[in-house]
Amino acid sequence: MNKPVARISALSLSLMLLAGCATTSLTSAPESPAQSQALALIDQGKPRDAAVQLEALANTLKGSARAAALADAAFAWHDAGDNARARSLLAQVTARQLNGASLQRYHLTSAELALADKQPAQALASLKESSDTVVPQLRTRWQLARADALQGTGDSIGAAQERARAHAALTGKARTDNQQAIAGLLGTLDDATLRSRAAALPANEPLYNFAGRALIARGLPLPRPFDREQAVQFDTSKRPPAMSDGYRPPLKMAVLLPLSGRLATAAQPVRDGLLSGYYAETRRRPDIQFIDTAGTAAGAVAAYDKAVGAGVDFVVGPLGRDEVDAVFGRAQLPVPVLALNRGKSSPPAGSAGFSLAPEDDGIIAAEFLRGRERSKVLVVHSNDDNGRRAAAAFRERFAQRGGQVVATIGVGEAVGDISAQIRAAGSVDGVLLAVKAPQARTLAPQLALAGAGGATRVGTSQLTVGAGKAEEDMALDGIVYPNEAWNVRGVAGLPSASTAGQILPNARGAAGRLFAFGFDAWKISAYLDKMANEGGLAGATGTLFLDSNGNVLRVPAWSTFSGGRPMPIANAN
């Protein structure tokens, strides 16, 4: 295309371009050879050439054949960026002269032009036909145009449904952007509406799984387990039948961890937590083998191949992000994997991913504040990777949910005086503190003196790093943060967090979070069927759910500081 085409929302246009939908194969209808050859030029990235040939062809035809060629030429001119010419040709065509794909191209072009004119109702009238009956080459584009039209008429749920139906045909950035757009549409709904509309969706309606993820992020229950296509079923066929509580562990399991290298310190509490759950189980347990990945992508791939060669039927790990991407990037995974970090994309079919990613903290903090009707928020984050990632995820979700981030301030390990920046942000009713305890102790009085002391202050899980002395942590009083369920309530199979910390060094302090994470990795491996088919699993890090993409979602417990000591908050979700 010579220039951007203003016909639908910029997001929908980019999705279609990235997905290859704007230049589609349109030869499914019974066109003449000349018409088919001209339309094929659109596939080749030559819509202008196609338009010229189709218009010339139309001048040699009469009746319905001429109308079809003109409609197709209008479609091609529209794709080439010449909307004026497209409109001129459409005006020469009567819809009743058309049928098949030419009629659908006529309606789609008319709708996209109406959207460019900010006339969504008119666009919707052109797209009355169900996308199920639209030729496959036009279907995704049709659905995205309908989504824009429905959104323009105020129907957020209808728009989200159309985007969800288009989602399977999208790939790469187009798929990611579409998922964010659906989250944004669902974010406009209040809790009661989201719950009722999700419950009303029929089985296998594509929107249900998106709505379910939105419910979990808000700490709300699922009306039913996630819908699951055959492609994302988990192969547990080699395992004996499940016990009454759903316990169905593997027969032989490998755990891939960086037992040496730069990530070894993080791997130790994960290993100890997993083994604590493993040895606490008195029923049948799998043979278990730990394999060192050395913290590298190549090491992770080699460890996976070693596990497969040893005959395991389930793999837990690897732990590093690069390691996960390397294993998930394999053409085939003959043995299913529960990865212990978030990769660049969703887990491959038949595998799953579980993480304590900073992005999750940002998302649940945004939901916490919006759930309490906070609308104007100041974001303060540490300038390390965790702080930046949590803040970015918070900003995106908070905006999707209709909130406004009025200012974002990054701080170093040694926090300077930022009171002027806080005052410049103006009046806020919420503050996100994506920082560690020492930084938060310095920031808390500055927030109060700058006039933001009365705002609801929410931290991330990093808030506990560097905490532990009540006389110092009194500065943190009133800050709410997501906590591991293990620190707040009892978890079957584990002693209390305080007791475990006295016994095991790797279960105390900041390492305690990774210990709980390792325990949950064991639980997930043993209750994978239950999670896939029945819903939530009570874990040490929170209540765990498995979505339709193989991602483990977590609803944390919530705590606050009072008198310098962490205290649980009841019914915070």
In angstroms, how far is CA 205 from the centroid of its own chain? 18
Amino acid, single-letter form, for residue 15: L
Q: How far apart are CA 75 and CA 62, in angstroms?
A: 19
CB distance 202 to 219 below 8 Å: no
Q: How far apart are CA 50 and CA 80, in angstroms?
A: 9
Q: Which residue has the tokens 């001119």?
A: 77
In angstroms, how far is CA 241 from the centroid of its own chain? 32
pLDDT digits (tens, 9 = 90+) for 69-97: 999 999 999 999 999 999 999 999 999 99
Q: What is the model's pLDDT at position 233?
A: 65
CB distance 21 to 12 below 8 Å: no
Query: Which regions of the chain are under pLDDT 50?
Result: 1-8, 17-29, 230-231
Going by DSSP bridges, is the β-strand pair 404-411/376-382 parallel, antiparallel, or unpaired?
parallel
Q: What is the model's pLDDT at position 293?
A: 98
Q: How far apart are CA 346 and CA 341, in angstroms?
A: 11
Burial 131-145 (b: 16+ CB within 10 A, else e): beebbebbbbbbbbb
The two tokens of residue 42 are 């659109």
Q: What is the model's pLDDT at position 15?
A: 52
The two tokens of residue 143 are 């659905």
Q: H/E element holding 559?
A: strand 557-562
Write the DSSP string, 440-489.
Answer: HHHHHHHHHHTT-TTSEEEE-GGGGTT---HHHHGGGBT-EEEE-HHHHS
The packing angle between helices 63-80 and 33-43, to 10°, is 10
Our CA angle for 442, 446, 448, nearest 5°, is 120
Q: What is the model's pLDDT at position 172?
A: 81
Full strand arrangement of the beta sheet holding 537-538: 537-538, 543-546, 552-555
Strand partners of residue 544 = 537, 554
Q: What is the model's pLDDT at position 4?
A: 35
